[in-house]
Structure 1
């Protein structure tokens, strides 16, 4: 297998793994913050082994300023997962995952507000389409007669998760030169310390198995596969393959919980994913 094919395989597997995390989180039976605590704890233990094997456990890898940014990113990452896991229970895995993919627009917004970046007409157009897609998902729920305050809470939590993911991504831009595996190790450790007061005790072997899988497979293994793929593939292909994640999540939600989106919601999901792909790949509107 050549380098390119190996990168495709790694990215495909990483995104497939990511698409199943919602099922494991729900099956763990714990509150979102408690599940994220165990994810961070088990994930940090696994990443410690990875970093030791790769020779990243050295003092000269980052300075104090970078360490402070890593810690802040860890707080954002823990909040990101907590909001996302909470959204699963309120709005379903599929809806939460699709809305979570508004992250590129959150990143653009933060860039405009904090870095003084320019909001182009092209980006604004994709943002409007994404917003229309989100309205389609919400209104589609109302049309189906299954609307509830809980669903609205789930949508807001998914948007919150997207915001904190964007914040973590923005912080990562300040960490050039620091091995990404080491960043994840420190951030997971920060998350475990931060969420320790909310740590619930898993009830039974099944719950322990779910949380261990989330920590080791969905965090350490997935991160390692993802970073390996990023080093081998062009950005455009990475952007395309990243949409395996929401597709798998929708399928899992349907098979495991019989959660089906109606036609309006599918159209809304398509609009969001198309807009996110356009942002990631730098597409322009047809008239431009």
Structure 2
């Protein structure tokens, strides 16, 4: 298959990828395993798919893989695998919808790391949009203004989800340091790291039900393989505004699945939080400027 075959319908490909990724919470829940073991098998099946994909596409062997790049990719892999683990743990402690919404604070962690660590500049408009998004997280988390009782498990689940989002942001920044390395190769490095890192901690002695294997394979092949390949093919061929809008298919699908299949509808407060996060994300990504009062000359 030629490379040009991936150029057609980039918006449709990204929309499909976001819809696929939006089902990951259901797959993890139905697999019925603990988060560490689930992520371990995600990495196993993801490695098999991405390894075969890269070989068939001619991306391997990659002669540009220097020891420095491998080390950076491996470090990013540690962050990404731990992020996936915290994210999956959040599903069981809160809900699929809540965890997915809170996890989408990750772009703002990227900005904050850039400002505090990399000394990048930030505008007043970006600060305002970020404040709006973090207020949205507080509302969407169910920890404030909620009619339901807040349990310790729920609070811990939100904390794990925020930690997972922070680790994802770190992995994103580390990936930028890999330059022009193909993202499929980077993800393959991450899944290989995940297999090695989690093997000692995964519950491999437990007998996995036959039905669970389909869900586990789906997380590795669909959510870590097919969806990522679709995203990587689409991103270079789409404008930033369109990417920003299509990205919200992911949480929307997760919210609908959690509502219809698990009986967890979003309340008014959580919905308001989701809207604030959406506006904050689009505001930062698209560079929206807030209206300012003009000062007339004296």
Give the Cα–Cα distance (whole angstroms) in 2 for the partners of residues 99 and 274 of structure 1. 14
Aligned with residue 209 of structure 2, among 204, 211, 229: 204
CA root-mean-square deviation: 1.7
TM-score computed with the length of structure 1 as normaliser: 0.95
Q: Is contact 2:22–2:251 with CA below 8 Å preserved after alignment?
A: yes
Aligned with residue 276 of structure 2, among 243, 268, 271: 271
Aligned with residue 262 of structure 2, among 241, 257, 263: 257
Q: Is contact 2:139–2:145 with CA below 8 Å preserved after alignment?
A: no
Q: Is contact 1:33–1:199 with CA below 8 Å preserved after alignment?
A: yes
Correspondence 1:177 to 2:200: no
Partner of residue 12, structure 1: 15
Give the Cα–Cα distance (whole angstroms) in 2 for the partners of residues 119 and 214 of structure 1. 36
Give the Cα–Cα distance (whole angstroms) in 1 for the partners of residues 125 and 39 of structure 2. 36
Partner of residue 65, structure 1: 68
Question: Cα deviation per residue 1:12-66 (whole Å; 9 max; x = unaligned)?
Answer: 1000001000000011111111100000010011000010011111241222111
Aligned with residue 166 of structure 1, among 150, 165, 169: 169
Larger radius of gyration: 2
Q: 1:272 to 1:59 in 2, by over 3 A?
A: closer
Tell me the matched-pair count: 287
Give the Å deviation of 1:4. 7.4
Q: 1:235 to 1:208 in 2, by over 3 A?
A: same
Structure with greater proportional helix content:
1
Q: Is contact 2:143–2:155 with CA below 8 Å preserved after alignment?
A: no
Q: Is contact 1:111–1:117 with CA below 8 Å preserved after alignment?
A: yes
Partner of residue 244, structure 1: 249
Q: Is contact 1:140–1:265 with CA below 8 Å preserved after alignment?
A: no
Correspondence 1:124 to 2:119: no
Give the Cα–Cα distance (whole angstroms) in 2 for the partners of residues 3 and 86 of structure 1. 34
TM-score computed with the length of structure 2 as normaliser: 0.92
Give the Cα–Cα distance (whole angstroms) in 1 for the partners of residues 23 and 235 of structure 2. 21
Give the Å deviation of 1:141. 6.1
Give the Cα–Cα distance (whole angstroms) in 2 for the partners of residues 140 and 181 of structure 1. 37
Partner of residue 194, structure 1: 197
Gaps of 5+ in 1: none
Which moved further from structure 2: 226-235 or 196-205?
A: 196-205
Correspondence 1:93 to 2:88: no
